[in-house]
Chains A and B, each alone.
Chain A
């Protein structure tokens, strides 16, 4: 089964830049769109990146997404970190079995 692997946690200081990776287990991650979701404690998820690198309205341009075919990975980069960015982040794509797939999530700590 297709899987997406994320680091369990990352941490960085306010004002810095952090990148969260999402690696596909098989096939080409570039073949299907990747989305990224933010989930703050006690809240529902919200979309921060869709179709690999597009931002929904209202999401600041500090958030960006990219695909690296050579490593079969997607990445979410957050620049100018703020304490409000502290949350769990999930990547998501879909597989050849017509299943949507989520990564295991990455806990971002801004300290």
Chain B
């Protein structure tokens, strides 16, 4: 069974930093693109970032580009999101999601984690 378990969500002050983690199991992690998607309270889904199966290609939403960094450690079956210069508008539930099998990159998400909450507040 494919499982994605996010962790690392906390309350952080504006301007602060935070790293989210996603532990993957049940599939060959290094064959798949991975995503981060967020959902602000009472709002819709917003794609944040993706990373290709080998980590060589990364893409970001305009709202986080230059502040967030996506990475992965295929030896640990883990995905990360380093979040810097956090703003109140980054407050959201953050989901890790599995993308398509290589060589595809942009075929959306097929399995989602349960998410972790990030609150940016003074």
Query: A-side interface residues toward B, CB under 8 Å?
Result: 32-33, 35, 37, 39, 44-47, 50-51, 56, 88, 90, 92-94, 98-105
Query: Is B72 close to A, CB under 8 A?
Result: no
Q: Which of B44-91 contact A (CB under 8 A)?
A: 44-47, 50, 59, 61-62
Number of A-B contacts (CB under 8 A): 62
* Contact present for A47 and B45 (CB under 8 Å): no
- Range of interface residues on chain B? 20 to 34
* Contact present for B59 and A47 (CB under 8 Å): no
Residues of A close to B62: CB separation below 8 A? 99
Q: How far is the CA of A92 from the CA of B111 in the complex (A)?
A: 14
Query: B-side interface residues toward A, CB under 8 Å?
Result: 35, 37, 44-47, 50, 59, 61-62, 95, 106-115
Q: How far is the CA of A51 from the CA of B111 in the complex (A)?
A: 14
Contact pick for A90, options B45, B95, B107, B115, CB 8 Å? B45
CB distance from A52 to the nearest CB of B (A): 11
CB distance from A57 to the nearest CB of B (A): 11
Also in contact, A102 and B46, with CB within 8 A (given A44-B95, A44-B115, A45-B95)? yes
